[in-house]
Amino acid sequence: MVARVQLTEKDKKFIEEVMTAGWGRPGLDYWTVARLALARSLQQTTAPDPEMFPILSVQDEGIQLHAAQLIGETKPGDDDYSDVYRALISVYEGRDLFADEVAFHAALQRHVRRGLATMATEWASGTDLNHYLLQDLFTDGAQNGEVAAELGDQVTRIMAEMGVDGRLVRTEQGPRLTRFTFQLSQLDDLNRLKRGEEKLAFGLGLGDRAATVSSAPVERQVLVDIPRAVSQWRTVDWNDVKGSLRSDEARAMTLPICLGTNVLGAPLLIDLAEAPHLFLGGTTGSGKSMTLHAILLSLLALEAPPDLLLIDPKAVEFAGYRGLKNLLPPGVVTSVGDAFTALNGLIEEMNRRQDAFAELEVRDLAEAQAAGSGLRRIVAVIDELGDLFMQSDDIQIPLIRLAQKARSAGIHLVLATQRPEAATFPGMLRSNVPSRVALTVQKGAESRIILDEGGAENLLGRGDMLVKFSGRQIVRAHGARIQPSDISGAVG
Ligand X SMILES: Nc1ncnc2c1ncn2[C@@H]1O[C@H](COP(=O)(O)OP(=O)(O)OP(=O)(O)O)[C@@H](O)[C@H]1O
Closer residue to ligand X in complex, CB, 116/460: 460
Is 8 part of any known ligand binding site? no
- Is residue 50 within the footprint of ligand X (CB under 6 A)? no
Which residue in the set 109, 418, 432, 435 belongs to the binding site for ligand X (CB under 6 A)? 418
- Is residue 479 within the footprint of ligand X (CB under 6 A)? yes
Q: Which one of the spans 94-102, 284-292, 387-395, 396-404 is the region binding ligand X (CB under 6 A)?
A: 284-292
Which residue in the set 74, 284, 335, 341 belongs to the binding site for ligand X (CB under 6 A)? 284
Is 286 part of any known ligand binding site? yes
Torsion of CA 15, 16, 20, 24, to 10 degrees: 60
Q: How far is the CB of 463 from ligand X (least distance, A)?
A: 3
Which residue in the set 285, 323, 330, 489 belongs to the binding site for ligand X (CB under 6 A)? 285
Closer residue to ligand X in complex, CB, 43/418: 418
Closer residue to ligand X in complex, CB, 178/289: 289
Closer residue to ligand X in complex, CB, 141/479: 479
- Which residue number has the CB closest to ligand X? 463
Torsion of CA 134, 135, 137, 138, to 10 degrees: 60
Is 139 part of any known ligand binding site? no
Q: Max CA-CA distance within the chain? A: 85
**Binding residues with ligand X: total (CB under 6 A):** 15
- Is residue 176 within the footprint of ligand X (CB under 6 A)? no
Is 337 part of any known ligand binding site? no
Which residue in the set 174, 276, 281, 287 belongs to the binding site for ligand X (CB under 6 A)? 287
Q: How far, in Å, CA of 151 to CA of 259, rounded?
A: 29
Q: Which one of the spans 202-210, 247-255, 364-372, 477-485 is the region binding ligand X (CB under 6 A)?
A: 477-485
Q: Which long-range contacts (CB under 8 A, 24 or more apart) does 312-319 make?
A: 312/382, 312/383, 312/384, 313/339, 313/383, 313/384, 313/387, 313/388, 313/391, 314/383, 314/384, 314/387, 317/289, 317/292, 317/383, 318/381, 318/383
Q: Which 244-283 positions form the footprint of ligand X (CB under 6 A)?
A: 282
> What's the length of the chain?
492
Comparing CA positions, the residue from 240, 238, 369 lying closest to residue 304 is 369
Is 289 part of any known ligand binding site? yes
Closer residue to ligand X in complex, CB, 119/477: 477
Which residue in the set 44, 178, 212, 286 belongs to the binding site for ligand X (CB under 6 A)? 286
Mind giving me the DSSP string for 28-43?
A: S-HHHHHHHHHHHHHT
Closer residue to ligand X in complex, CB, 284/392: 284
Comparing CA positions, the residue from 61, 104, 106 lying closest to residue 84 is 104
Q: How far, in Å, CA of 65 to CA of 3, rounded?
A: 9
- Is residue 480 within the footprint of ligand X (CB under 6 A)? yes
Q: How far is the CB of 480 from ligand X (least distance, A)?
A: 6
* 203 three-state secondary structure: helix
Parallel, antiparallel or unpaired: strands 378-382 and 267-271: unpaired
Reading across the β-sheet that carries 307-311, which strands appear in turn? 267-271, 256-262, 475-479, 464-468, 435-438, 278-281, 411-417, 378-382, 307-311
- Is residue 242 within the footprint of ligand X (CB under 6 A)? no
What angle, rounded to 10 degrees, do the helices at 484-491 and 288-300 form? 30
- Is residue 424 within the footprint of ligand X (CB under 6 A)? no
Is 46 part of any known ligand binding site? no
Is 288 part of any known ligand binding site? yes
Which residue in the set 109, 238, 463, 477 belongs to the binding site for ligand X (CB under 6 A)? 463
Closer residue to ligand X in complex, CB, 36/241: 241
Burial class (CB in 10 A: 0-12, 13-18, 19+), 413: buried
Q: Which one of the spans 83-91, 114-122, 443-451, 479-487 is the region binding ligand X (CB under 6 A)?
A: 479-487
* Helix, strand, coil distribution of the chain in percent, nearest 5: 45, 15, 35
Is 471 part of any known ligand binding site? no
Closer residue to ligand X in complex, CB, 11/136: 136
| 287: CB partners within 8 A, 6+ apart | 439, 440, 461, 462, 463, 464, 465, 479
What is the Cα Rg of the chain in Å? Answer: 27
Q: How far is the CB of 235 from ligand X (least distance, A)?
A: 5
Closer residue to ligand X in complex, CB, 318/357: 318
| Residues near ligand X (CB under 6 A) | 235, 282, 284-290, 418, 462-463, 479-481
Annotated binding site: 282-289
Annotated binding site for ATP: 282-289
